[in-house]
Structures are given as structure tokens and as C-alpha cells.
Amino acid sequence: MVGELTPTRIDPKTASAETWRRFHDLRHMQEKERRPDDPVQPDGEIEKRMKKGNPFEHQHWYVIERDGVGLSSFYAESVTPANAEYETNKHLFWTDAYVRPEHRRQGIATLWLPLVVELMEKHGCTLAGFFAETDAAHEFLRWVGAGPKLTDIESRLHLAGVDWSMLERWVKEGMERSPQTRLEVHDGPLPQAMLPDFAPQLTAMLNTMPTEDLDIGKIVLTPERINDWQERQALVGEITHTVIAREPDGSMAGMTDITWAPFRRTLIHQQFTGVRPDARGRGIGKWLKAAMLLHVREIYPDAEWVVTDNAHSNDPMLKINRTLGFKPYRTGVEYQMSRDELKNRLKGAKP
């Protein structure tokens, strides 16, 4: 009976081998359902990152089990007071849940909702966020009463079909249109000396991204948060490559970065690409994207695909990506609802 099932918290630092086995069993199943063409990150790498802890986020992992089999997993996070985003983001609580396909439509997902309320109250959060890619997840969130706030499109570029001459032309045009702007490339962790200048400029560009109706507070990167991220990458051998468009006065006109990891050697993950608003209209975005792809071809000759995500409303970046040859791969939706709305829904909820 579903009513007999209860969530069990996972503490990464004390979890037993059997707990990890059940956790990874569900994780593998979820990843293969979401991205069937992609390799799944090795268990040991996931455990290293989870055990490290995160001073900037409250993180929660739970599982629901029956007879030694994991039926559903749950993850949630919110900012800590040590996070520079705390004042503008402390009301936000982000969640993710997964239920084995053969156990869906039995009310198991509803068992997470009281826990969401409990954790939100514990951390003083008032707005819950959920993400859905499958029909079952969309249906569940509509039933709960969460509202769709942002549509995200994952696109993929097959490098074998890239028009490399077009990219070389974009680089040439970028140099001609901004002759005093230069590109600099950083392979691996960014130098410590540049972080105090880099972090606020990247923060400013990140906050120009379209967020549609999604409440995400304010994005604030600091040297400390960047270092924490780079330490997590080092734990598993993940590498970031960054290309920056630098103006004569030393300021950043734009930047783009990608990540490569040993377990997904043929997949490059395109992270953020942004151009400062007052530097737009000069082809800098195309220049950066083209320069990065040409760099990828040189340093990762066995790479086959580039994966990226964009808001559905981000027309300028989607236009560049489509011209490059990126094809839509998967669409997801961010949902949100208030803690009070969720509590009211639970009063009359039935599985």
C-alpha cells in the first residue's frame, strides 16, 4: 500500500553501500529515460561530489523504498546565508523527483509533497520550483496546481555536419567589426587573480538572460562560488574552456564556456554564452560561438556532439544556434507554486 511508504533521507557522508546501490539504481534509470543516447556519469564521481558538501546550498536527498527496491527518489535545494544570492533568493526552493515507470499513477509522487512543505518551512522558503520533461510529470504538476513559468529547449549540434567555413567567416567578420576587441582563451580553471574582476562582469551578463515568468531571484557569482565549482570539477576530471571577448579598457564584451568530462568524451556541454547589452549588434555572439567550436575541433578531435539549453524566448541565441546547425532534442518546463498554495492543495489531495 502506498500509505505505508515513507521517505528516507540519504546522508552522503554516512550512507551504506546498499543505500548507494539503491540510489544509483534509480539514478541510472532516470538518466536513461531522460537521455537514452548519453553515457551515465559513474557512481563514484557522483558520490565524490555529494560527499564534498556545498556551503552555498542546502541540499536534500531522499528515497522511497519497498522490499529493498528504490521506487522513487527526491532532491531539493535552497540557498544558504553564505550564498551571495541569499537576500534575493532565500524564498526559492527547487525540487526534482523521479518515480519508476512501473510504479507511476499509484500516488507515490504525492508522498513527496508534505516533505516539500516541511523543508520549505524549515528554511523559510515560500516558492517551490519543479521541472518536467515527461508527460507523466507535466500531468502530475498540473494536478498539484503548479503553473508553467519557463520553457527550456535542449538542442544538439552534430559536429560532423558543421559548416566550418561559415565559422571561419564569422571569426573574420567579428575581428573586422570590432578591430580593437580581442579574444582570450582559458583552458581549465580560471586564474585566481582574474576572479574578482571576472565574477561581477559575468554576473551582470547572466542577469540579462530571459527568464519568462520564472522567479529566479538574482544570480550573483563570487570568486568563492567559482572556486567551489572548480573544485567540484577537479574531483571528477571535468574541464571548463572559456573564451572571453575583451575590450580595449579590459572589460568583457562577452564570453562563452563549455565543459568536457572523461565519462562523456564525445559530448561537449555548452554552458553560458552572453554579450553585454551595450556591445550587442557587432556580431560578438557569433564570433565567440564560432571561435569556441573551432577550438573544440582542435582540442577534442573525437567530440561528436555539442549540447546546449536555451529559454524558448531567447530568440537571438536560438537564431545563432539554428544557423550553426543545432537541432531541438528535448523540451522541459519549469513550474512554480507558493508554499501556501501547496499546503491548501494537500488538504484535499488524494493519490
Q: Tell me, what DSSP letter sits at residue 90?
A: T
Cell of 5: 511508504
CATH number for the domain whose boundaries are 2-152+334-347: 3.40.630.30
* Residue 347 pLDDT: 86
pLDDT confidence tier of residue 1, bands split at 50, 70 and 90: low
Q: Render pLDDT for 39-50 as a digit per residue (tens, 0 to 9).
A: 999 999 999 999
Nearest alpha-carbon partner for 27 in 52, 63, 66, 76? 63
Which sign does the torsion angle of CA 114, 96, 93, 224 carry? positive
Residue type, 189: P
Q: What percent of the chain has pLDDT over 90?
A: 95
Q: Where in the chain is CATH 3.40.630.30?
A: 2-152+334-347, 163-324
Nearest alpha-carbon partner for 22 in 61, 65, 74, 52? 65
User: Would the pLDDT of 2 be above 90?
Assistant: no
Q: How many CA atoms lie within 13 A of 75 on its CB side?
A: 11
Start-to-end Cα distance in the chain: 11
Q: Over range 131-145, report the average pLDDT.
A: 94
Cell of 28: 541510472
Indicate the pTM of the whole model: 0.94
Q: Render pLDDT for 265-320 as a digit per residue (tens, 0 to 9).
A: 999 999 999 999 999 999 999 999 999 999 999 999 999 999 999 999 999 999 99
- Return all residues near 36 (Cβ < 8 A) that are at least 6 apart: none
- Report the CATH architecture of 163-324: 3-Layer(aba) Sandwich (3.40)
Cell of 301: 578531435
Helix (H, G, I), strand (E, B) or coil at 152: strand
Q: Over range 217-237, report the average pLDDT.
A: 96
Distance, CA of 193 to CA of 346 (rounded, Å): 51
Q: Render pLDDT for 66-124 as a digit per residue (tens, 0 to 9).
A: 988 999 999 999 999 999 999 999 999 999 999 999 999 899 999 999 999 999 999 99
Residue type, 58: H
Q: Over range 151-163, report the average pLDDT.
A: 97
